[in-house]
Amino acid sequence: MKIPSSHPRAESLRIREILKKGFDEGIVIAQGLIAQGRGETFDYLIGERTTPIAISSIRAAAAYLLIAKRPVISVNGNIAVLSPKEIVELANSIGGKIEVNLFHRSAKRELLIKKRLLINGAKDVLGVGNSASANLSGFESHRRKVDPRGILVADTVLVPLEDGDRTLNLRKVGKLVIAIDLNPLSRTAQTATVTIVDNVVRAMPLLVKETNSLKNESIDKLERIVKEFDNKSNLQKCISHISKRLVQISASNGVLK
Ligand code: PTJ
């Protein structure tokens, strides 16, 4: 469907159309559309723009990914259709690997996602078919199936837009986790090492930009950025940002500005 650019919710509708197309193509599952709706609610409350709070977590995430020896970007159905180009650009920028890791796993979806990433310039895509031959402890879902060259041996994993138990389990097996999640209250947000509370469609290009701008910096400088970042306090600021907005809206007789 063509979205008129004058529509007040044009950007949000454009993202929905991308996901709907991904669903028709078999990349996104029905639950992925529900996940997007959940995210949209929080995006609405945040103000549908990247906050300075998110910018500081993007900077810390970029530093963590550049310090990492074996960073991996984990890809599910939603992110594969929303940010395929940025996944590849980020992997190139940080010298990281790309791995498909699905909650609702099927051989067909894995291959479709791999194809989407290859079309967007990926050189290699891990975790597809028999190459996901290792099992990560702690997982009951299909997410336990990982690639021995990727998530199994990763020190840092980027999980854009994920279900709740995953980040906690990755943390339990000793991985640093960078999450992108619009809901600052989700288990993912609360358990990640760095949580970027922003829409993936805005955060991913900014993360690529930040890794490119920091990648020639010294390890000392990157470590300083990481040391100065406090995820708990960053999340608290996100929640406070949402509550302040609600107070302001209520003070203006419920009118959203
Ligand atoms: O492709 P699969 O099989 O691996 O399945 C993926 C889904 C997304 C279905 C699965 O991971 C899932 O069920 O996720 P949840 O539990 O619905 O959680 C999704 C989280 O992502 C929620 O906390 C949403 O707020 C958040 N979210 C949704 N859309 C976006 C988002 N965060 C950032 N940007 C978005 N566009």
Q: What is the CA radius of gyration of the chain?
A: 18
Q: Can you give the residue ranges of every domain in the chain? A: 52-238
Q: Does domain 52-238 have CATH number 3.40.50.11610?
A: no
Atom of ligand 1 at shortest distance to CA of 35?
17
257 pLDDT more than 70: no
Strands 97-100 and 134-135: unpaired
Residue with CA closest to ligand 1 atom 17 = 35
What pLDDT is stored for residue 9 in this prediction?
A: 77
pTM of the model as a whole: 0.95
| Among 102, 75, 71, 101, CA closest to 86 | 75
CA distance 199 to 68: 24
> Which residues have CB under 6 Å of ligand 1?
29, 31-32, 35-36, 38-39, 42, 76-78, 102-104, 161-164, 180-183, 186, 199-200
Ligand 1 centroid distance, CA of 216 (Å): 33
CA distance 182 to 195: 9
115 three-class SS: helix
CA distance 157 to 31: 23
Q: What is the pLDDT of residues 202-234, one digit of tens each?
A: 999 999 999 999 999 999 999 999 999 999 999
Q: What is the pLDDT of residues 5-51, one digit of tens each?
A: 777 777 888 999 999 999 999 999 999 999 999 999 999 999 999 99
157 three-class SS: strand
Contact predicate 159/179, CB 8 Å = yes
Residues in the chain, total: 257
Ligand 1 centroid distance, CA of 161 (Å): 4
Q: What is the pLDDT of residues 38-81, one digit of tens each?
A: 999 999 999 999 999 999 999 999 999 999 999 999 999 999 99
Q: How far is CA 103 from CA 48, 165, 193, in A?
A: 27, 11, 21
Q: What's the token pair of residue 23?
A: 């669903």
Residue with CA closest to ligand 1 atom 32 = 181
Contact predicate 27/80, CB 8 Å = yes
**Which residue among 11, 38, 42, 191 has the greatest number of ligand 1 atoms within 8 angstroms of its CB, and so is best to mutate?**
38
**H-helix or E-strand spanning residue 200:** helix 200-214
CA distance 191 to 168: 6
